Structure 1
């Protein structure tokens, strides 16, 4: 099937799947079903159609015991998207079709989407920006020195939380001594905020540590030198075991953990920026 013929036959949902893969890297059938709010069978059929049309490729990880397919957009699929976006007058996102999967997507975005689906009318992930779009949004606010893995707007029980999320990727460098490992690379999560001379326009900065020891180091650092913004921490193990809106988030200086919607606030004298548009 030629690219032009495939493009003409794309349904709105298949366009959405293609754009999601081009902006977020690889995804499983379950991921696509969550994002599109359809059954896994429907997502599977759409992905098979896109694969047969040459717009997506699929692979199985040899380390995955479930032998699940992981899908990504092809060069042909990216070109179809680029032409369609240009023809409709929409901007083409940076590095479209060339992005790796984001850690924040797996740890926060997709689980929050699932929480939203399980609790309609009570909570909703109203907004999410992947890493590239988050960087662009920060530059628009003259905060290019801040590097974040994602931006979101979470609604729950009549409350609203704007947040930036950072994922700790572990020790930095090929050779890190054992006593340096618990703190190696953590400073990079906070340096942009400490260089900023004002609040970053979100209600809270979320920091996801690799493990309990590194989360404790983060909290100790934040107690010694607090940020202007409200901050909350958690660790990857907790996000693998529980839903991310649960009581997993700890504010430095507190002993207990709070629900996600309870960890931040917004100063009344500051005008909250409108969420940037989504794709």
Structure 2
């Protein structure tokens, strides 16, 4: 099937799948089902159609015991999407079709979409910007020195929280001394805010640490030198066990943890 013929036959939902893969990197069938608010079977059928049309590819790791297929957009799919955006007068995002999957997507974006699905009318992930769109948003606010992994607007029970999120990648560099590992790379998460020297136009800055020890180091750093913006920390293990809107966020100086919507209050 030629890509022009495939483009003519694309439904709005399949366009959305192509756009998601082009801007967020690879995704599983479950991820696509969440983003498009359809069943896994429907998402599977759409992905198979797109694959047979040459617009997406799929692969899985031989080490993965779940045998999960991961889908990504092909060069042909990227070209089809780029031409469609240009023809409609819409801007073409930077590095379309060449973006790696982001940890913030897996830890916050997709789980918050699922929470929204489970609680219609009560809560909603109203907006989400991936890393590159977040960088553009920060430049518009004269905060180009910041490098956040995502920006979101969370609505719950009539309240609104705008947030930036940063994901700790762990120790920086190939060779890091054992005694330096708990703090290696953490300073980079906060340096941009301290250089800015002013409030960032969000209700909270969310920091996701790799583990409990690194989260403790982050909190100690924030107590020594607080930021002007409200900050809350958590760690990956908590987000693997709980939904991100639950009581998994800790404000430096407090003992307990808050729900997401309470972080900026």
CA distance in 2, matches of 1:135, 1:229: 18
Q: Give per-residue Cα distances to partners, 1:95-138, cap 9 Å, x unaligned.
A: 00000000000001000000000010110000000000000110
CA distance in 2, matches of 1:223, 1:187: 14
- Consecutive unaligned residues of structure 1, counting only runs of 5 or more, are 266-279
Partner of 1:18: 18
Please show how residues 235-254 of structure 1 align to structure 2 within 5 Å: 235-254=235-254
Partner of 1:141: 141
The offset of 1:197, in angstroms, is 2.7
CA distance in 2, matches of 1:224, 1:18: 46
Please show how residues 120-199 of structure 1 align to structure 2 within 5 Å: 120-199=120-199
Partner of 2:234: 234
SS of structure 2 residue aligned to 1:27: coil
RMSD value, Cα = 0.5
- Consecutive unaligned residues of structure 2, counting only runs of 5 or more, are none
Partner of 2:255: 255
CA distance in 2, matches of 1:210, 1:63: 23
Q: Give per-residue Cα distances to partners, 1:190-217, cap 9 Å, x unaligned.
A: 0110010321110000000000000000
The offset of 1:63, in angstroms, is 2.2
Partner of 2:114: 114
Partner of 2:213: 213
The offset of 1:64, in angstroms, is 1.4
Partner of 1:59: 59
Partner of 1:27: 27
- Using the size of structure 2 for normalisation, the TM-score is 0.99
Asked if 1:37 corresponds to 2:37, the answer is yes
CA distance in 2, matches of 1:158, 1:104: 25
CA distance in 1, matches of 2:73, 2:60: 15
